[in-house]
Structure 1
Amino acid sequence: MRVQMLGLCRFSYLGMRGYQVDHDRIEDRRAYLYDPDRLARRWSWFETVALPGWLAQTDPDYTLVLMTGPDLPDPFLARLRDLCDRVPQLRLSLVPPMEYHLQACRAAIAPHRDPDATVIGHFRHDDDDAVAVDYIARARADFAAVADLWAREGRLSLDHARGLMIEARDGRLRITPRICHNMGVALTIFLRPDAPETALDFNHTRLAQWMPGVQVPEPVMFVRSIHGDSDSGDMGPGLPWQPEEGAINRILRERFDLRRGALAALARRLSLG
């Protein structure tokens, strides 16, 4: 069985709808998204938090589509182009502004579907979150254990639910271990290859309306960032979990290729901007 792992990461995509911060006019949306200071902050989160885990995946057989608009200002568009030129798993998709966000996401993903795949594991990834370095490998292995459940309907969600919440407020970094149900990050939606949908087509808080789901509570699989530029600044519902004394630094390093000092420095630096 050929399982394609195919993800979508939106980097300040200029389109209407699809986000919790909304605007009535495209001009207002452009001014908000393309504000130079905001773009610089988003890039800092993307470069510091999101990228390390993707570049260190133990299973390199995945595709992550970076979706943005063709008029994204430089140097950020140039940086995305350079990154995708250097990393074969990353693909740049320049989508003009569209009224309907799901249509835009489908347009970004469609050229990258593998027609020879038996099943496609779709995932969404925000540009300020992180997945563990073995997310792709574990998603494939865990799906294999429940593939018969997927075969009944051609749809299945696989939720890796244990992670860390990183809050950057007033220049300070706070890390909260959390088990969350269908948070969105490290959540894989397995569909048939001819299905037109992407992971964005399904509200991750209501997945039971459309498909069976499996939750995997181990190991630590995601980092979710909460800060002043977050589309949603709420930690949301979940359960606490307690790592061993002094283990968080090791978890960040071994599971995500992140350093707590770099995260704290980012929180301080952005509070000064």
Structure 2
Amino acid sequence: MRVQMLGLCRFSYVGLRGYQVEHDTYDQRRALLYDPDRLARRWTWFTEVTLPAWREQNDPDFTLVIMTGPDLPDPWLSQLRDLVQQVPQFRLELVPPMERHLAACHAAIAPHVDPEAEVIGHFRHDDDDAVAVDYIKTARKDFQRVKGLWRRAGKLALDHSRGLMMRLDAGGLELTPRICHNMGVALTVFLRPDLPETALHYDHSKIGQWMPGVSVPGPLMFIRSIHRDSDSGAMGPGHPFQMQPEALDQQLWRRFRLRRNRLETVLRD
């Protein structure tokens, strides 16, 4: 069974709806998203937190579509163009501002659906979060174990729920180990290829309304960042678990290719 792993990452896309912070006009949204200081911070988190593990996925058979607007200012648009030349799995889609955010997301994803795939493993990824280096391989393997559920419903949510909440503020960097169900990050939505939908078409906090779901509570599979520019600054519901500081720092590198001292340096700067 051919399973395509296909993700969408929005980088300061100027569209109405689709975010917890709402605006009435494109100009209001653009003024917030294209503020030069904010864009510089977003690029820092994108390159320092998000990209390391995507560059080192141990299953390279995936596509990550980076969605932004055609008027994204330089140097960030040029840097995104350079990035997709460097990473074979990345694609850049420049989508004009659209009021219907889900239609915009579908416009970005649709050109990259593999017509030979029998199943599409859709995932969303925020530009300041991280997944583990084996996310693609593990999601593909775990789907094979539960694909009978997908066959019955034509839809299936596979939730890798063990991760780290990373709070970044003036006080420094704080990591909280936490099991969070259907956070969005490291949540794969398996759909038939003929469905005109993406992972963002389903509110991840209510995804059980539309499809069966399987939760896999280990190993560490995601980092969710919380900082001044987060669309939502809340940690959300979940269950904490304990990790020793030394083990936590080791797992940062092994699972996400991140170093605490590097992140703390970036935060100070």
TM superposition score normalised by structure 2 = 0.99
Equivalent position amino acid for 2:100 in 1: Y
Distance in 2, matches of 1:133 and 1:218, equals: 14
Equivalent position amino acid for 1:94 in 2: L
Equivalent position amino acid for 1:145 in 2: R
Equivalent position amino acid for 1:122 in 2: H
DSSP-derived class of the 1:6 partner: strand
Query: Which residue number in structure 1 is paired with residue 129 of structure 2?
Result: 129
Query: Which residue number in structure 2 is paired with residue 209 of structure 1?
Result: 209
Please report how far the alpha carbon of residue 267 of structure 1 lies from its aligned counterpart in structure 2 after TM superposition: 2.1
5 Å-filtered alignment, 1:94-173, equals 94-173=94-173
Equivalent position amino acid for 1:103 in 2: A
Please report how far the alpha carbon of residue 170 of structure 1 lies from its aligned counterpart in structure 2 after TM superposition: 1.1
Query: Which residue number in structure 2 is paired with residue 8 of structure 1?
Result: 8
Distance in 1, matches of 2:237 and 2:76, equals: 34
Query: Which residue number in structure 2 is paired with residue 249 of structure 1?
Result: 249
Is 1:237 the equivalent of 2:206?
no
Distance in 2, matches of 1:149 and 1:75, equals: 46
Distance in 2, matches of 1:163 and 1:29, equals: 31
5 Å-filtered alignment, 1:177-196, equals 177-196=177-196
Query: Which residue number in structure 2 is paired with residue 75 of structure 1?
Result: 75
Distance in 1, matches of 2:258 and 2:168, equals: 15
Query: Which residue number in structure 2 is paired with residue 17 of structure 1?
Result: 17
Please report how far the alpha carbon of residue 100 of structure 1 lies from its aligned counterpart in structure 2 after TM superposition: 0.5
Distance in 1, matches of 2:118 and 2:200, equals: 20
Query: Which residue number in structure 2 is paired with residue 92 of structure 1?
Result: 92
DSSP-derived class of the 1:14 partner: coil
Equivalent position amino acid for 2:27 in 1: E
DSSP-derived class of the 1:145 partner: helix
Distance in 2, matches of 1:153 and 1:6, equals: 20
Distance in 1, matches of 2:263 and 2:251, equals: 14
DSSP-derived class of the 1:20 partner: coil
Runs of 4 or more consecutive aligned structure 1 residues displaced over 3 Å after TM superposition: none
Give the aligned length.
269
Please report how far the alpha carbon of residue 266 of structure 1 lies from its aligned counterpart in structure 2 after TM superposition: 2.1
Tell me whether 183-192 or 20-29 shows the greater mean CA deviation. 20-29
Equivalent position amino acid for 2:148 in 1: D
Equivalent position amino acid for 1:246 in 2: E
DSSP-derived class of the 1:184 partner: coil
DSSP-derived class of the 2:204 partner: coil
Equivalent position amino acid for 2:119 in 1: V
Query: Which residue number in structure 2 is paired with residue 268 of structure 1?
Result: 268
Equivalent position amino acid for 1:195 in 2: L
Please report how far the alpha carbon of residue 93 of structure 1 lies from its aligned counterpart in structure 2 after TM superposition: 0.3
Query: Which residue number in structure 2 is paired with residue 38 of structure 1?
Result: 38
Equivalent position amino acid for 2:41 in 1: R
Q: Please tell me whether the aligned partners of residues 156 and 211 of structure 1 are also in contact (alpha carbons under 8 angstroms).
A: yes
- Give CA deviations for 1:241-269 in whole Å, capped at 9, x if unaligned: 11245201100000000111111122222
Query: Which residue number in structure 2 is paired with residue 200 of structure 1?
Result: 200
Gaps of 5+ in 1: none
Distance in 2, matches of 1:250 and 1:39, equals: 30
Distance in 2, matches of 1:188 and 1:197, equals: 13
Q: Please tell me whether the aligned partners of residues 171 and 267 of structure 1 are also in contact (alpha carbons under 8 angstroms).
A: no
Q: Please tell me whether the aligned partners of residues 171 and 268 of structure 1 are also in contact (alpha carbons under 8 angstroms).
A: no
Distance in 1, matches of 2:205 and 2:29, equals: 26
TM superposition score normalised by structure 1 = 0.97
Please report how far the alpha carbon of residue 79 of structure 1 lies from its aligned counterpart in structure 2 after TM superposition: 0.3
Please report how far the alpha carbon of residue 171 of structure 1 lies from its aligned counterpart in structure 2 after TM superposition: 4.4
Please report how far the alpha carbon of residue 169 of structure 1 lies from its aligned counterpart in structure 2 after TM superposition: 1.4
Distance in 1, matches of 2:203 and 2:73, equals: 30
Please report how far the alpha carbon of residue 25 of structure 1 lies from its aligned counterpart in structure 2 after TM superposition: 1.2
DSSP-derived class of the 1:206 partner: helix
Equivalent position amino acid for 2:93 in 1: S
Gaps of 5+ in 2: none
DSSP-derived class of the 1:106 partner: helix
DSSP-derived class of the 1:105 partner: helix
Distance in 2, matches of 1:119 and 1:26, equals: 35
Distance in 1, matches of 2:238 and 2:265, equals: 27
